[in-house]
Amino acid sequence: MITQLIIPAAGLGRRLGLQLPKALAMLGNQSLVARTLNCLLPVEFTEPSIVIFPKGYEEAFREALSEVPVAIQYIEGGLERRDSVKRGLDGLNPDTDIVVIHDAARPFPPLRAVCTAIDATRQYGAATLATPVTDTILTDNGTGCLGMTPDRSLLWSCQTPQVFQVDLIRQAYGDERNTGISCTDDATLVQRIGSPVKLVDGGVMNFKVTTKLELAFANYLLEQGLV
């Protein structure tokens, strides 16, 4: 099986309040995107790995990733994450069977779980890292009041990597059941066309850096040697 990696990193990260894209924020002595990619190197993906950058930032990304010891193909992202991933899928090598899609914004991907997800994809066609929620989750009924309280024992918080057989994720992207829907991950598109997606526990350290607090927390974990 030939397995390739796509890193969507084309978000502007406005919630982080920086003047540069989130993926270029510094985490220790490296940018977020460089750390994320470096963490995944032991998986030994088929090269090149694909990095999706925001319009106008190709040179800055090339510079930020200049010391990562793998071949990288740079592709300009789109308006929504989904547009960015679609462009990445179009850039895969023709003989790639399995694609691993991992957001630049998750700098501590757990390697064992990533490998479990790749193995599960051979059986199920798709797998995603996720982790069971510990909070009780509420829905809003549309008026700012409590709508319903889903059974917590069934709830998982979605993460990446998400892993797919390439034909299946391409089919999901092209399927009319997924046209025009708003979607912040790719596994949901596969589930919507009726294919199973195996859930693999990625643990709490595989968190996403969205806010200043999470960036500070990620830096603290590194300084303390906890990751």
Binding site for ligand C5P (CB under 6 A): 8-11, 22-23, 52, 77-81, 84, 103-105, 184, 208, 210
CB contact set of 27 (below 8 Å; sequence gap of 6+): 35, 107, 209, 215, 218, 219, 222
| Closest residue to bound ligand C5P by CB | 11
Which CB sits closer to ligand C5P, 22 or 198?
22
Which CB sits closer to ligand C5P, 6 or 199?
6
**How many Cβ atoms from other residues are within 10 Å of residue 198's Cβ?**
18
Task: Name the minimum Å distance from CB 138 to ligand C5P.
Answer: 21
Task: Name the minimum Å distance from CB 123 to ligand C5P.
Answer: 27
Task: Name the minimum Å distance from CB 194 to ligand C5P.
Answer: 25
Which CB sits closer to ligand C5P, 78 or 110?
78
53 forms bridges with which residues in the sheet? 76
Task: Name the minimum Å distance from CB 188 to ligand C5P.
Answer: 13
Q: Where are the beta strands (DSSP E) in the chain?
A: 3-8, 26-27, 30-31, 49-53, 72-76, 98-101, 126-132, 156-165, 198-201
Which CB sits closer to ligand C5P, 2 or 188?
188
**How many Cβ atoms from other residues are within 10 Å of residue 63's Cβ?**
12
Which CB sits closer to ligand C5P, 103 or 164?
103
Task: Name the minimum Å distance from CB 122 to ligand C5P.
Answer: 26
